[in-house]
Amino acid sequence: MAEVEEKQAKPRHDETPLEAFASICGVLAVGLFVLTFVFQNFAIPSSSMVKALLVGDHVLVDRIALAPPAPYAPFIYYRNIRHGDIIVFYKPTLEANGEHLFLVKRVMGLPGDHIHLRGGIVYRNGVALDEPYAAKPSEFDYNAYRDDFPSVSPTTSVDVTAEWAEALPGYIQGQDLVVPPGMYFAMGDNRTVSLDSRFWGFVPRSNIVGRPLFVYWSFDTPESQEYKTSLADRLSWILHETIHFFDGTRWRRTLHRVK
């Protein structure tokens, strides 16, 4: 009994400043690992994926499920890319400033698929797809290259990259574009404004970063904000977000699942 009382009477060891600092560093290291290799956040800058994603949506992206399987981590769930998956990826062509651009589009064609459009309707392997979420062209904004792809020469579209204009004929069989091995054909849901695989080509498997899971915050943002890149413009927008956080946030989209 005396031994129990003696143990209970021992003073509690207080955490030293060094131990506290080490604990904080450990938490930060784990958080950095998760945000770098497991999840990542992205802001949607354009309307190419309306209605699934709006300008100003901030999404959490799963970087694991669509990654190539790692032999050292057999316990992690991986799966192949499927038709209809919304993916985040590096644009296959570099920007004018030499930088890679992250894009978000929907996978319309897997390796081996035959793709063509007629009147804005996507045909995959000869079957017209029913896509109620996709914006279709009207008689007032019809574009032959965009809406009847790939039946019209890409030289008629000013938005087509030079590399894709040169390579495109080599992938056409009959009326269809054939997706080569290791590549994917991706399109935005807002078909009449989306610059996608029709304009710059296939998405290599190695360029795919992951898939957006849900919207964790959505703020009413003009599409023109994407082009305001100066320091003054960025600081002004941060101030705007701070002042209008409550009335500018689209609360109904919080935790909205992306699909």
Domain ranges of the chain: 31-257
pLDDT at 33: 40
Q: What are phi and psi of 48, to 5 degrees?
A: -70, -20
Over the chain (259 residues), what is each successive 10-residue block's mean pLDDT? 49 56 46 52 93 95 80 69 95 83 96 97 97 90 94 86 94 97 97 95 94 95 90 93 95 95
pLDDT at 94: 80
Q: What are phi and psi of 78, to 5 degrees?
A: -125, 155
* Topology (CATH level 3) of domain 31-257: Umud Fragment, subunit A (2.10.109)
Cβ–Cβ contacts within 10 Å for residue 86, how many? 21
pTM above 0.75, yes or no: yes
DSSP string, the chain: -HHHHHHHHSPPPPPPHHHHHHHHHHHHHHHHHIIIIIEEEEE--SSTTTTTS-TTEEEEEESSTTSPPPTT-TTS------TT-EEEEE-SS--TTS---EEEEEEEE-TT-EEEEETTEEEETTEE---TTSB---TTS--HHHHSTTSS-GGG-TTS-HHHHHHGGGGEETTEEEPPTTEEEEE-SBTTT---HHHH--EEGGGEEEEEEEEEEEB---GGGGG--SHHHHHHHHHHHHHTHHHHB-GGGTTEEP-
Cβ atoms of 210 and 40 closer than 8 Å: yes
